[in-house]
A and B are shown apart, each in its own frame.
Chain A
Amino acid sequence: MSINLVSDKRLDNIGAVEKFRALMVLAGWLIPALLTAIGLAGAVDLLVRGEEAFGTTDAVPWGILIAGYVLLAVTCSGLCLVSSLGHVFGIERFEIIGQRAIYLAVVVLISAFAVLAVELGHPFRLIYVLLSPNFHSGIWWMGTIYGIYLVGLMLELYFMLRHKEHPARLMGTITFILAIAATTNLGSVFGFVNAKPFWYGPYWPVYIIVTAIMSGTAVLIILAWFLQRRIASKRQQGFCQNGSMFKHRLKKLSGTLSILLAAEVGTVLVLTFWKVVTSLYGGVPGQQQAAMALLTGPLAPTYWVFEVGIGLLLPLALLLISRGKGEKFNLAAALSVILGMVFMRLHMVSSGQILYIDKTTGMASYAAYIPSLGETAVIVGAVGFILLAYKIGERYLPFKP
Protein backbone atom coordinates (compact mmCIF):
# COMPACT_ATOMS: atom_id res chain seq x y z
CA MET A 1 0.00 0.00 0.00
CA SER A 2 2.63 2.44 1.05
CA ILE A 3 4.83 1.49 -1.95
CA ASN A 4 1.95 2.31 -4.28
CA LEU A 5 1.53 5.70 -2.67
CA VAL A 6 5.19 6.57 -3.21
CA SER A 7 5.12 5.56 -6.84
CA ASP A 8 1.91 7.55 -7.42
CA LYS A 9 3.60 10.58 -5.94
CA ARG A 10 6.63 10.04 -8.14
CA LEU A 11 4.40 9.74 -11.16
CA ASP A 12 2.69 12.96 -10.16
CA ASN A 13 6.09 14.61 -9.82
CA ILE A 14 7.18 13.41 -13.23
CA GLY A 15 3.92 14.71 -14.65
CA ALA A 16 4.50 18.07 -13.00
CA VAL A 17 8.07 18.25 -14.29
CA GLU A 18 6.88 17.45 -17.80
CA LYS A 19 4.17 20.09 -17.58
CA PHE A 20 6.65 22.62 -16.28
CA ARG A 21 9.06 21.78 -19.10
CA ALA A 22 6.32 22.12 -21.71
CA LEU A 23 5.32 25.43 -20.19
CA MET A 24 8.91 26.65 -20.31
CA VAL A 25 9.22 25.64 -23.97
CA LEU A 26 6.03 27.53 -24.76
CA ALA A 27 7.22 30.58 -22.82
CA GLY A 28 10.52 30.37 -24.70
CA TRP A 29 8.59 31.01 -27.90
CA LEU A 30 5.84 33.24 -26.56
CA ILE A 31 7.99 35.80 -24.74
CA PRO A 32 10.21 36.68 -27.74
CA ALA A 33 7.11 36.75 -29.97
CA LEU A 34 5.38 39.09 -27.54
CA LEU A 35 8.43 41.38 -27.35
CA THR A 36 8.58 41.47 -31.17
CA ALA A 37 4.90 42.38 -31.30
CA ILE A 38 5.52 45.22 -28.82
CA GLY A 39 8.30 46.45 -31.10
CA LEU A 40 6.06 46.33 -34.16
CA ALA A 41 3.38 48.29 -32.32
CA GLY A 42 6.00 50.89 -31.36
CA ALA A 43 7.24 51.09 -34.95
CA VAL A 44 3.70 51.62 -36.27
CA ASP A 45 3.15 54.35 -33.69
CA LEU A 46 6.38 56.13 -34.71
CA LEU A 47 5.71 55.80 -38.43
CA VAL A 48 2.09 56.96 -38.22
CA ARG A 49 2.38 59.80 -35.72
CA GLY A 50 5.83 60.90 -36.85
CA GLU A 51 7.81 63.47 -34.92
CA GLU A 52 5.34 63.85 -32.06
CA ALA A 53 5.72 60.17 -31.17
CA PHE A 54 9.49 60.59 -30.81
CA GLY A 55 11.33 61.84 -27.72
CA THR A 56 13.91 63.49 -29.97
CA THR A 57 13.79 67.23 -30.68
CA ASP A 58 15.57 69.67 -32.97
CA ALA A 59 18.03 70.21 -30.09
CA VAL A 60 18.63 66.46 -29.67
CA PRO A 61 18.02 64.99 -33.14
CA TRP A 62 19.51 61.57 -32.32
CA GLY A 63 18.00 59.48 -29.53
CA ILE A 64 17.65 55.91 -28.33
CA LEU A 65 17.00 54.50 -31.81
CA ILE A 66 20.39 55.71 -33.04
CA ALA A 67 21.95 54.42 -29.80
CA GLY A 68 20.13 51.09 -30.32
CA TYR A 69 21.29 50.91 -33.93
CA VAL A 70 24.88 51.53 -32.84
CA LEU A 71 24.58 48.92 -30.06
CA LEU A 72 23.24 46.24 -32.41
CA ALA A 73 25.41 46.97 -35.45
CA VAL A 74 28.53 47.07 -33.32
CA THR A 75 27.59 43.86 -31.45
CA CYS A 76 27.18 42.18 -34.84
CA SER A 77 30.72 43.25 -35.77
CA GLY A 78 31.99 41.98 -32.42
CA LEU A 79 30.36 38.57 -32.92
CA CYS A 80 31.98 38.30 -36.34
CA LEU A 81 35.42 39.48 -35.17
CA VAL A 82 35.64 37.24 -32.07
CA SER A 83 34.21 34.11 -33.72
CA SER A 84 36.55 34.51 -36.70
CA LEU A 85 39.39 33.54 -34.34
CA GLY A 86 38.08 30.02 -34.98
CA HIS A 87 36.91 29.73 -38.57
CA VAL A 88 39.32 32.27 -40.06
CA PHE A 89 42.42 32.12 -37.90
CA GLY A 90 42.10 28.43 -37.08
CA ILE A 91 42.13 28.54 -33.28
CA GLU A 92 40.36 25.25 -32.67
CA ARG A 93 38.73 26.25 -29.42
CA PHE A 94 36.64 28.94 -31.15
CA GLU A 95 35.54 26.82 -34.11
CA ILE A 96 32.79 25.15 -32.10
CA ILE A 97 30.67 28.30 -31.96
CA GLY A 98 31.39 29.73 -35.43
CA GLN A 99 28.17 28.84 -37.27
CA ARG A 100 25.87 30.05 -34.53
CA ALA A 101 27.92 33.22 -34.01
CA ILE A 102 27.70 34.17 -37.70
CA TYR A 103 23.97 33.36 -37.80
CA LEU A 104 23.46 35.52 -34.73
CA ALA A 105 25.56 38.29 -36.36
CA VAL A 106 23.24 38.24 -39.39
CA VAL A 107 20.13 38.36 -37.18
CA VAL A 108 21.52 41.18 -35.02
CA LEU A 109 22.51 43.25 -38.06
CA ILE A 110 19.06 42.82 -39.64
CA SER A 111 17.48 44.01 -36.39
CA ALA A 112 19.90 46.97 -36.38
CA PHE A 113 18.80 47.97 -39.88
CA ALA A 114 15.15 47.56 -38.89
CA VAL A 115 15.66 49.96 -35.95
CA LEU A 116 17.40 52.44 -38.26
CA ALA A 117 14.60 52.17 -40.82
CA VAL A 118 12.07 53.20 -38.14
CA GLU A 119 14.29 56.13 -37.14
CA LEU A 120 14.63 57.40 -40.72
CA GLY A 121 11.73 59.38 -42.01
CA HIS A 122 12.12 57.97 -45.51
CA PRO A 123 13.86 54.58 -45.55
CA PHE A 124 12.93 53.96 -49.20
CA ARG A 125 14.91 57.00 -50.25
CA LEU A 126 18.02 55.05 -49.25
CA ILE A 127 18.20 54.32 -52.99
CA TYR A 128 19.77 57.80 -53.30
CA VAL A 129 22.70 56.48 -51.26
CA LEU A 130 23.50 54.55 -54.45
CA LEU A 131 22.14 56.98 -57.06
CA SER A 132 23.65 60.15 -55.65
CA PRO A 133 26.40 59.22 -53.19
CA ASN A 134 28.29 61.84 -51.21
CA PHE A 135 31.75 60.46 -50.54
CA HIS A 136 32.42 63.17 -47.93
CA SER A 137 29.72 61.73 -45.67
CA GLY A 138 30.56 59.43 -42.78
CA ILE A 139 27.05 58.00 -42.91
CA TRP A 140 27.48 57.15 -46.61
CA TRP A 141 30.60 55.07 -45.91
CA MET A 142 29.10 53.48 -42.81
CA GLY A 143 25.80 52.56 -44.50
CA THR A 144 27.39 51.28 -47.69
CA ILE A 145 30.00 49.15 -45.95
CA TYR A 146 27.46 47.72 -43.49
CA GLY A 147 25.19 46.85 -46.44
CA ILE A 148 27.97 44.97 -48.26
CA TYR A 149 28.99 43.41 -44.95
CA LEU A 150 25.48 41.97 -44.40
CA VAL A 151 25.60 40.28 -47.81
CA GLY A 152 29.09 38.96 -46.99
CA LEU A 153 27.90 37.54 -43.66
CA MET A 154 24.98 35.77 -45.35
CA LEU A 155 27.30 34.19 -47.92
CA GLU A 156 29.70 33.17 -45.17
CA LEU A 157 26.87 31.53 -43.23
CA TYR A 158 25.69 29.71 -46.35
CA PHE A 159 29.16 28.26 -47.03
CA MET A 160 29.61 27.33 -43.37
CA LEU A 161 26.30 25.47 -43.21
CA ARG A 162 27.11 23.68 -46.48
CA HIS A 163 30.54 22.76 -45.06
CA LYS A 164 32.37 24.37 -47.96
CA GLU A 165 35.48 25.13 -46.03
CA HIS A 166 37.56 27.12 -48.50
CA PRO A 167 34.86 29.57 -49.63
CA ALA A 168 33.72 29.87 -46.00
CA ARG A 169 37.24 30.82 -44.89
CA LEU A 170 37.60 33.27 -47.77
CA MET A 171 34.27 34.93 -46.95
CA GLY A 172 35.23 34.87 -43.27
CA THR A 173 38.41 36.80 -44.09
CA ILE A 174 36.46 39.31 -46.16
CA THR A 175 33.81 39.84 -43.47
CA PHE A 176 36.57 40.16 -40.85
CA ILE A 177 37.99 43.10 -42.79
CA LEU A 178 34.52 44.52 -43.53
CA ALA A 179 33.58 44.28 -39.83
CA ILE A 180 36.54 46.46 -38.88
CA ALA A 181 35.85 48.90 -41.75
CA ALA A 182 32.11 49.17 -41.04
CA THR A 183 32.51 49.61 -37.29
CA THR A 184 35.26 52.21 -37.44
CA ASN A 185 33.28 54.09 -40.08
CA LEU A 186 30.33 54.08 -37.70
CA GLY A 187 32.64 55.65 -35.11
CA SER A 188 33.74 58.21 -37.68
CA VAL A 189 30.12 59.33 -38.12
CA PHE A 190 30.57 60.86 -34.67
CA GLY A 191 34.25 61.69 -35.10
CA PHE A 192 33.59 63.93 -38.12
CA VAL A 193 31.20 66.27 -36.31
CA ASN A 194 33.15 69.45 -35.68
CA ALA A 195 30.02 71.06 -34.21
CA LYS A 196 29.98 68.60 -31.28
CA PRO A 197 33.31 68.95 -29.47
CA PHE A 198 32.79 65.82 -27.32
CA TRP A 199 32.46 63.71 -30.48
CA TYR A 200 35.00 65.35 -32.75
CA GLY A 201 38.26 63.46 -33.33
CA PRO A 202 39.56 59.89 -33.71
CA TYR A 203 38.52 58.71 -30.22
CA TRP A 204 35.13 57.23 -31.16
CA PRO A 205 36.32 55.07 -34.10
CA VAL A 206 38.91 53.51 -31.76
CA TYR A 207 36.51 53.22 -28.82
CA ILE A 208 33.79 51.68 -30.95
CA ILE A 209 35.99 48.87 -32.29
CA VAL A 210 37.21 47.98 -28.79
CA THR A 211 33.66 48.00 -27.43
CA ALA A 212 32.53 45.95 -30.47
CA ILE A 213 34.93 43.18 -29.51
CA MET A 214 33.83 43.52 -25.88
CA SER A 215 30.11 43.16 -26.66
CA GLY A 216 30.78 40.32 -29.13
CA THR A 217 32.74 38.42 -26.48
CA ALA A 218 30.01 38.96 -23.88
CA VAL A 219 27.29 37.68 -26.23
CA LEU A 220 29.37 34.60 -27.08
CA ILE A 221 29.78 33.80 -23.35
CA ILE A 222 26.00 33.98 -22.94
CA LEU A 223 25.55 31.86 -26.09
CA ALA A 224 28.02 29.23 -24.83
CA TRP A 225 26.13 29.04 -21.54
CA PHE A 226 22.75 28.58 -23.26
CA LEU A 227 24.17 25.90 -25.53
CA GLN A 228 25.45 23.97 -22.52
CA ARG A 229 22.01 24.11 -20.94
CA ARG A 230 20.45 22.97 -24.18
CA ILE A 231 22.79 20.00 -24.40
CA ALA A 232 21.99 19.09 -20.79
CA SER A 233 18.26 19.08 -21.52
CA LYS A 234 18.73 17.19 -24.83
CA ARG A 235 20.79 14.56 -23.04
CA GLN A 236 18.05 14.12 -20.48
CA GLN A 237 15.65 13.53 -23.32
CA GLY A 238 18.13 11.16 -24.97
CA PHE A 239 18.58 13.22 -28.17
CA CYS A 240 22.20 14.18 -27.93
CA GLN A 241 25.16 11.96 -28.62
CA ASN A 242 28.68 13.19 -27.94
CA GLY A 243 27.00 15.75 -25.70
CA SER A 244 29.55 15.56 -22.93
CA MET A 245 32.39 16.23 -25.39
CA PHE A 246 30.56 19.25 -26.82
CA LYS A 247 29.79 20.52 -23.36
CA HIS A 248 33.38 20.17 -22.29
CA ARG A 249 34.56 22.16 -25.30
CA LEU A 250 31.98 24.87 -24.67
CA LYS A 251 33.12 25.13 -21.07
CA LYS A 252 36.73 25.58 -22.15
CA LEU A 253 35.68 28.17 -24.74
CA SER A 254 33.71 30.08 -22.12
CA GLY A 255 36.79 30.19 -19.90
CA THR A 256 38.94 31.60 -22.71
CA LEU A 257 36.24 34.11 -23.68
CA SER A 258 35.99 35.35 -20.10
CA ILE A 259 39.73 36.03 -19.96
CA LEU A 260 39.41 37.96 -23.25
CA LEU A 261 36.46 39.84 -21.79
CA ALA A 262 38.46 40.82 -18.71
CA ALA A 263 41.18 42.32 -20.94
CA GLU A 264 38.59 44.18 -23.04
CA VAL A 265 36.69 45.56 -20.06
CA GLY A 266 40.00 46.76 -18.62
CA THR A 267 40.87 48.49 -21.89
CA VAL A 268 37.46 50.18 -22.13
CA LEU A 269 37.80 51.31 -18.52
CA VAL A 270 41.12 52.99 -19.37
CA LEU A 271 39.65 54.60 -22.53
CA THR A 272 36.60 55.83 -20.58
CA PHE A 273 38.78 57.29 -17.83
CA TRP A 274 41.06 59.23 -20.17
CA LYS A 275 38.22 60.49 -22.35
CA VAL A 276 36.60 62.08 -19.31
CA VAL A 277 39.86 63.39 -17.83
CA THR A 278 41.13 64.93 -21.10
CA SER A 279 37.70 66.48 -21.68
CA LEU A 280 37.67 67.94 -18.18
CA TYR A 281 41.15 69.45 -18.26
CA GLY A 282 41.95 69.79 -21.98
CA GLY A 283 40.36 73.22 -22.21
CA VAL A 284 38.49 72.53 -25.45
CA PRO A 285 35.25 74.57 -25.40
CA GLY A 286 32.19 72.34 -24.99
CA GLN A 287 34.07 69.20 -23.97
CA GLN A 288 34.19 70.00 -20.28
CA GLN A 289 30.45 70.67 -20.06
CA ALA A 290 29.70 67.36 -21.80
CA ALA A 291 32.01 65.49 -19.40
CA MET A 292 30.36 67.24 -16.43
CA ALA A 293 26.94 66.18 -17.74
CA LEU A 294 28.16 62.60 -17.37
CA LEU A 295 29.90 63.05 -14.03
CA THR A 296 27.48 65.25 -12.11
CA GLY A 297 24.84 66.43 -14.60
CA PRO A 298 21.65 64.90 -15.97
CA LEU A 299 23.39 61.76 -17.28
CA ALA A 300 25.26 61.10 -14.01
CA PRO A 301 22.88 58.60 -12.32
CA THR A 302 22.84 56.21 -15.27
CA TYR A 303 26.50 56.90 -16.10
CA TRP A 304 27.81 55.92 -12.67
CA VAL A 305 25.36 53.11 -11.92
CA PHE A 306 25.01 51.42 -15.31
CA GLU A 307 27.92 52.43 -17.58
CA VAL A 308 30.72 52.52 -14.98
CA GLY A 309 29.32 50.35 -12.17
CA ILE A 310 27.39 47.56 -13.85
CA GLY A 311 29.02 47.85 -17.27
CA LEU A 312 32.69 47.99 -16.29
CA LEU A 313 33.61 47.70 -12.58
CA LEU A 314 31.27 44.84 -11.61
CA PRO A 315 32.17 42.58 -14.57
CA LEU A 316 35.86 43.31 -14.09
CA ALA A 317 35.59 42.31 -10.42
CA LEU A 318 33.60 39.17 -11.29
CA LEU A 319 36.04 38.15 -14.00
CA LEU A 320 39.07 38.73 -11.79
CA ILE A 321 37.49 36.59 -9.05
CA SER A 322 36.53 33.79 -11.48
CA ARG A 323 39.82 33.88 -13.50
CA GLY A 324 38.09 32.07 -16.33
CA LYS A 325 36.88 29.14 -14.21
CA GLY A 326 33.65 30.05 -12.43
CA GLU A 327 31.09 29.77 -15.19
CA LYS A 328 28.29 31.48 -13.32
CA PHE A 329 30.63 34.39 -12.61
CA ASN A 330 31.48 34.58 -16.32
CA LEU A 331 27.82 34.55 -17.28
CA ALA A 332 26.98 37.23 -14.70
CA ALA A 333 29.89 39.34 -15.96
CA ALA A 334 28.76 38.97 -19.60
CA LEU A 335 25.16 39.89 -18.77
CA SER A 336 26.30 42.87 -16.75
CA VAL A 337 28.55 44.03 -19.63
CA ILE A 338 25.59 43.87 -22.03
CA LEU A 339 23.32 45.80 -19.65
CA GLY A 340 26.04 48.42 -19.16
CA MET A 341 26.57 48.57 -22.92
CA VAL A 342 22.95 49.61 -23.51
CA PHE A 343 23.54 52.70 -21.38
CA MET A 344 27.05 53.19 -22.73
CA ARG A 345 25.63 53.58 -26.24
CA LEU A 346 22.89 55.89 -25.00
CA HIS A 347 25.49 58.06 -23.25
CA MET A 348 27.73 58.02 -26.30
CA VAL A 349 24.92 59.46 -28.42
CA SER A 350 23.53 61.81 -25.72
CA SER A 351 26.78 63.26 -24.38
CA GLY A 352 27.76 64.80 -27.71
CA GLN A 353 24.42 66.55 -28.13
CA ILE A 354 23.75 67.48 -24.53
CA LEU A 355 25.31 70.94 -24.59
CA TYR A 356 22.76 73.18 -26.23
CA ILE A 357 23.12 76.89 -26.93
CA ASP A 358 19.69 78.50 -27.06
CA LYS A 359 19.45 80.60 -30.19
CA THR A 360 17.27 83.30 -28.69
CA THR A 361 18.89 83.72 -25.29
CA GLY A 362 22.41 82.72 -26.30
CA MET A 363 22.56 80.74 -23.04
CA ALA A 364 24.19 77.33 -22.82
CA SER A 365 22.19 74.62 -21.10
CA TYR A 366 21.77 70.86 -21.01
CA ALA A 367 19.29 69.65 -23.61
CA ALA A 368 16.76 67.20 -22.22
CA TYR A 369 15.98 63.94 -23.96
CA ILE A 370 13.69 61.26 -22.61
CA PRO A 371 13.00 58.29 -24.91
CA SER A 372 9.32 58.04 -25.84
CA LEU A 373 7.22 54.92 -25.29
CA GLY A 374 7.28 54.11 -29.01
CA GLU A 375 11.07 54.47 -29.26
CA THR A 376 11.59 52.23 -26.22
CA ALA A 377 9.14 49.68 -27.60
CA VAL A 378 11.14 49.43 -30.84
CA ILE A 379 14.31 48.63 -28.89
CA VAL A 380 12.43 46.00 -26.85
CA GLY A 381 11.08 44.59 -30.12
CA ALA A 382 14.58 44.37 -31.59
CA VAL A 383 15.67 42.22 -28.63
CA GLY A 384 12.54 40.06 -29.05
CA PHE A 385 13.22 39.65 -32.77
CA ILE A 386 16.81 38.56 -32.13
CA LEU A 387 15.69 35.93 -29.58
CA LEU A 388 12.90 34.69 -31.84
CA ALA A 389 15.05 34.53 -34.98
CA TYR A 390 17.81 32.77 -33.06
CA LYS A 391 15.37 30.16 -31.74
CA ILE A 392 14.03 29.58 -35.26
CA GLY A 393 17.59 29.17 -36.56
CA GLU A 394 18.53 26.79 -33.77
CA ARG A 395 15.51 24.68 -34.59
CA TYR A 396 15.57 24.62 -38.38
CA LEU A 397 19.15 25.30 -39.51
CA PRO A 398 21.67 22.46 -39.66
CA PHE A 399 24.10 23.86 -37.10
CA LYS A 400 27.02 21.63 -36.26
CA PRO A 401 27.93 20.37 -33.77
Chain B
Amino acid sequence: MSKRYGFVMLVYRCIDCKACQVGCWAENEVPLGKSRNWITKDGPKGKFPDLITDFLPGNCMHCGNAPCVNVCPTGASYQTEEGIVLVNKKKCIGCKYCMVACPYNARYYHPEEKTADKCTMCVHRLKEGLQPACVSTCVGGARVFGDLNDPDSQVSRLLRKHRAVVQLPQANTQPNVYYVYDSPVDKGGIAP
Protein backbone atom coordinates (compact mmCIF):
# COMPACT_ATOMS: atom_id res chain seq x y z
CA MET B 1 0.00 0.00 0.00
CA SER B 2 1.31 3.43 -0.91
CA LYS B 3 1.87 6.10 1.66
CA ARG B 4 -0.81 8.64 2.54
CA TYR B 5 0.64 11.57 4.41
CA GLY B 6 -1.43 13.54 6.86
CA PHE B 7 -1.41 15.65 9.99
CA VAL B 8 -2.94 15.11 13.39
CA MET B 9 -3.27 18.40 15.24
CA LEU B 10 -3.35 17.99 19.02
CA VAL B 11 -5.41 21.07 19.79
CA TYR B 12 -4.80 20.87 23.56
CA ARG B 13 -1.05 21.21 22.96
CA CYS B 14 -1.10 24.33 20.81
CA ILE B 15 -0.10 27.51 22.66
CA ASP B 16 -0.53 29.89 19.70
CA CYS B 17 3.20 30.72 19.64
CA LYS B 18 3.20 30.75 15.80
CA ALA B 19 6.58 29.02 15.56
CA CYS B 20 5.01 26.86 12.82
CA GLN B 21 4.27 29.99 10.78
CA VAL B 22 7.73 31.43 11.26
CA GLY B 23 9.34 28.07 10.45
CA CYS B 24 7.31 27.81 7.23
CA TRP B 25 8.09 31.38 6.19
CA ALA B 26 11.82 30.74 6.61
CA GLU B 27 11.84 27.29 5.02
CA ASN B 28 9.71 28.08 1.99
CA GLU B 29 10.53 31.76 1.43
CA VAL B 30 6.86 32.66 1.61
CA PRO B 31 6.26 36.19 0.23
CA LEU B 32 5.69 39.02 2.69
CA GLY B 33 2.11 39.27 3.91
CA LYS B 34 1.25 35.70 2.84
CA SER B 35 1.16 32.51 4.84
CA ARG B 36 0.90 28.80 4.07
CA ASN B 37 -0.24 27.91 7.57
CA TRP B 38 -2.09 29.59 10.40
CA ILE B 39 -3.55 29.20 13.87
CA THR B 40 -7.29 29.71 14.33
CA LYS B 41 -8.69 30.86 17.66
CA ASP B 42 -11.73 28.83 18.65
CA GLY B 43 -13.35 30.55 21.58
CA PRO B 44 -13.59 31.75 24.26
CA LYS B 45 -16.06 28.93 24.92
CA GLY B 46 -17.90 27.73 28.02
CA LYS B 47 -19.57 29.61 30.84
CA PHE B 48 -17.86 32.22 32.97
CA PRO B 49 -15.61 31.67 34.90
CA ASP B 50 -14.87 28.32 33.23
CA LEU B 51 -13.83 29.70 29.87
CA ILE B 52 -11.47 28.14 27.40
CA THR B 53 -10.00 29.16 24.04
CA ASP B 54 -8.70 26.45 21.76
CA PHE B 55 -6.00 27.08 19.19
CA LEU B 56 -6.28 25.14 15.95
CA PRO B 57 -3.11 24.86 13.87
CA GLY B 58 -4.05 24.78 10.21
CA ASN B 59 -2.69 24.50 6.70
CA CYS B 60 -3.83 23.01 3.41
CA MET B 61 -5.94 19.97 4.32
CA HIS B 62 -4.48 17.97 1.38
CA CYS B 63 -8.02 16.74 0.79
CA GLY B 64 -8.63 13.25 -0.56
CA ASN B 65 -11.36 14.81 -2.71
CA ALA B 66 -9.63 18.13 -3.39
CA PRO B 67 -11.86 20.83 -4.99
CA CYS B 68 -8.77 22.79 -6.10
CA VAL B 69 -7.52 19.82 -8.12
CA ASN B 70 -10.95 19.24 -9.65
CA VAL B 71 -11.41 22.83 -10.84
CA CYS B 72 -7.91 23.54 -12.21
CA PRO B 73 -8.27 23.92 -16.00
CA THR B 74 -4.72 22.82 -16.85
CA GLY B 75 -4.05 20.21 -14.20
CA ALA B 76 -1.48 22.54 -12.61
CA SER B 77 -3.01 21.64 -9.25
CA TYR B 78 -2.50 17.94 -8.74
CA GLN B 79 -2.22 15.31 -6.07
CA THR B 80 0.73 12.98 -5.64
CA GLU B 81 0.32 9.28 -4.89
CA GLU B 82 1.12 10.07 -1.26
CA GLY B 83 -1.85 12.45 -1.13
CA ILE B 84 0.13 15.69 -1.25
CA VAL B 85 -1.70 18.45 -3.14
CA LEU B 86 0.81 20.49 -5.14
CA VAL B 87 0.91 23.24 -7.78
CA ASN B 88 2.95 22.77 -10.94
CA LYS B 89 3.99 26.41 -11.39
CA LYS B 90 4.84 25.91 -15.07
CA LYS B 91 1.26 25.00 -15.89
CA CYS B 92 -0.53 27.53 -13.65
CA ILE B 93 -2.26 30.22 -15.74
CA GLY B 94 -3.16 32.35 -12.70
CA CYS B 95 -6.94 32.04 -13.06
CA LYS B 96 -7.35 31.71 -9.26
CA TYR B 97 -10.20 29.20 -9.65
CA CYS B 98 -8.49 26.96 -7.07
CA MET B 99 -8.39 29.84 -4.57
CA VAL B 100 -12.10 30.44 -5.07
CA ALA B 101 -12.90 26.73 -4.79
CA CYS B 102 -10.93 25.99 -1.60
CA PRO B 103 -13.35 25.98 1.36
CA TYR B 104 -10.41 26.42 3.78
CA ASN B 105 -8.90 29.48 2.04
CA ALA B 106 -5.62 27.58 2.14
CA ARG B 107 -4.19 29.12 -1.03
CA TYR B 108 -2.74 32.50 -1.80
CA TYR B 109 -1.60 34.32 -4.93
CA HIS B 110 2.18 34.51 -5.29
CA PRO B 111 2.84 38.13 -6.28
CA GLU B 112 6.15 37.52 -8.06
CA GLU B 113 5.42 34.19 -9.71
CA LYS B 114 1.81 35.21 -10.54
CA THR B 115 0.57 31.74 -9.70
CA ALA B 116 -1.42 30.07 -6.96
CA ASP B 117 0.74 28.92 -4.06
CA LYS B 118 0.18 26.77 -0.99
CA CYS B 119 1.50 24.33 1.61
CA THR B 120 3.54 21.54 0.00
CA MET B 121 3.91 19.46 3.19
CA CYS B 122 7.56 20.50 2.70
CA VAL B 123 7.85 17.76 0.10
CA HIS B 124 11.51 18.68 -0.44
CA ARG B 125 12.21 17.90 3.23
CA LEU B 126 10.21 14.66 3.13
CA LYS B 127 12.47 13.42 0.34
CA GLU B 128 15.41 13.83 2.71
CA GLY B 129 13.65 11.98 5.50
CA LEU B 130 12.87 15.15 7.44
CA GLN B 131 9.58 16.33 8.91
CA PRO B 132 7.78 19.40 7.51
CA ALA B 133 9.23 22.65 8.89
CA CYS B 134 6.07 23.51 10.85
CA VAL B 135 6.21 20.13 12.61
CA SER B 136 9.91 20.45 13.43
CA THR B 137 9.46 23.90 14.94
CA CYS B 138 6.26 23.19 16.87
CA VAL B 139 7.13 23.98 20.50
CA GLY B 140 4.29 22.08 22.13
CA GLY B 141 4.32 19.08 19.82
CA ALA B 142 0.83 19.99 18.65
CA ARG B 143 1.54 19.20 15.02
CA VAL B 144 2.08 15.51 14.35
CA PHE B 145 2.89 14.33 10.84
CA GLY B 146 3.16 10.91 9.29
CA ASP B 147 1.84 8.13 7.06
CA LEU B 148 -1.84 7.53 7.72
CA ASN B 149 -1.64 4.17 5.90
CA ASP B 150 1.08 2.86 8.22
CA PRO B 151 -0.64 1.38 11.30
CA ASP B 152 2.53 1.86 13.38
CA SER B 153 2.98 5.57 12.59
CA GLN B 154 2.36 8.10 15.35
CA VAL B 155 -0.53 9.65 13.46
CA SER B 156 -2.26 6.28 13.05
CA ARG B 157 -1.77 5.46 16.74
CA LEU B 158 -3.20 8.83 17.75
CA LEU B 159 -6.22 8.40 15.50
CA ARG B 160 -6.90 4.93 16.95
CA LYS B 161 -6.65 6.23 20.48
CA HIS B 162 -8.58 9.51 20.26
CA ARG B 163 -11.75 10.84 18.79
CA ALA B 164 -10.62 13.06 15.94
CA VAL B 165 -12.60 15.47 13.77
CA VAL B 166 -11.97 17.16 10.44
CA GLN B 167 -12.83 20.73 9.46
CA LEU B 168 -15.96 21.33 7.36
CA PRO B 169 -16.93 17.64 6.98
CA GLN B 170 -20.09 18.78 5.15
CA ALA B 171 -17.92 19.94 2.23
CA ASN B 172 -17.10 16.25 1.55
CA THR B 173 -13.46 17.08 0.84
CA GLN B 174 -12.07 14.14 2.89
CA PRO B 175 -9.27 16.17 4.53
CA ASN B 176 -6.05 14.51 5.62
CA VAL B 177 -5.66 16.87 8.57
CA TYR B 178 -7.32 15.65 11.76
CA TYR B 179 -8.00 17.50 15.00
CA VAL B 180 -7.90 15.97 18.46
CA TYR B 181 -9.48 18.19 21.11
CA ASP B 182 -9.53 16.00 24.23
CA SER B 183 -6.40 16.04 26.29
CA PRO B 184 -5.47 12.59 27.66
CA VAL B 185 -3.99 14.44 30.67
CA ASP B 186 -7.50 15.54 31.59
CA LYS B 187 -8.49 11.88 31.64
CA GLY B 188 -5.53 10.91 33.78
CA GLY B 189 -3.34 9.66 30.96
CA ILE B 190 -0.18 10.94 29.35
CA ALA B 191 -0.11 12.24 25.83
CA PRO B 192 1.90 10.11 23.42
Interface residues of A (CB under 8 A from B): 50-52, 56, 58-59, 61-62, 120-123, 125-126, 128-129, 131-134, 136-140, 143, 189, 192-196, 352-353, 356-357, 359-362
Residues of A within 8 A of B34 (CB): 58
CB <8 Å contact, A194 and B99: no
Residues of B within 8 A of A137 (CB): 70-73, 97
CB <8 Å contact, A362 and B42: yes
Residues of B within 8 A of A139 (CB): 71, 73, 95, 97
Residues of A within 8 A of B42 (CB): 362
CB <8 Å contact, A140 and B73: yes
Residues of A within 8 A of B40 (CB): 359-362
Nearest B residue (CB) for A193: B101
Residues of A within 8 A of B94 (CB): 120-122, 125
CB <8 Å contact, B41 and A362: yes
Q: When A137-B70, A194-B101 are in contact, do A132 and B108 touch as well, CB less than 8 Å? A: no
CB <8 Å contact, B72 and A360: no
B109 interfacial contact with A, CB 8 Å:
yes
Query: Could you say which of B96, B102, B103, B107 contacts A62, with CB atoms under 8 Å apart?
Result: B96
Q: In the complex, how many residue pairs between chain A and chain B have their CB atoms under 8 Å apart?
A: 117
A73, chain B: closest CB distance, angstroms:
14
Can you list 27 A-B pairs with a CB-CB distance of less than 8 A?
A: A51-B111, A51-B114, A52-B111, A58-B34, A58-B109, A61-B100, A61-B109, A62-B100, A120-B94, A121-B94, A121-B109, A121-B114, A125-B94, A129-B73, A132-B75, A134-B70, A137-B70, A137-B71, A139-B97, A192-B70, A193-B101, A194-B67, A194-B101, A194-B172, A195-B171, A361-B40, A362-B42
A192-B71, A360-B39 given; 14 more Cβ-contact pairs under 8 Å:
A50-B114, A58-B99, A122-B92, A126-B93, A134-B70, A137-B70, A139-B95, A194-B103, A194-B171, A195-B100, A353-B100, A357-B105, A362-B40, A362-B41
B91 interfacial contact with A, CB 8 Å:
yes
B130, chain A: closest CB distance, angstroms:
26
The residues in B between 109 and 167 inclusive whose CB is less than 8 angstroms from any CB of A are 109, 111-115
Complex interface bits, B166-187 against A, C-beta within 8 A gives 1, otherwise 0: 0000011000000000000000
CB <8 Å contact, B93 and A122: yes
A50, chain B: closest CB distance, angstroms:
6
CB <8 Å contact, B100 and A196: yes
B49, chain A: closest CB distance, angstroms:
22
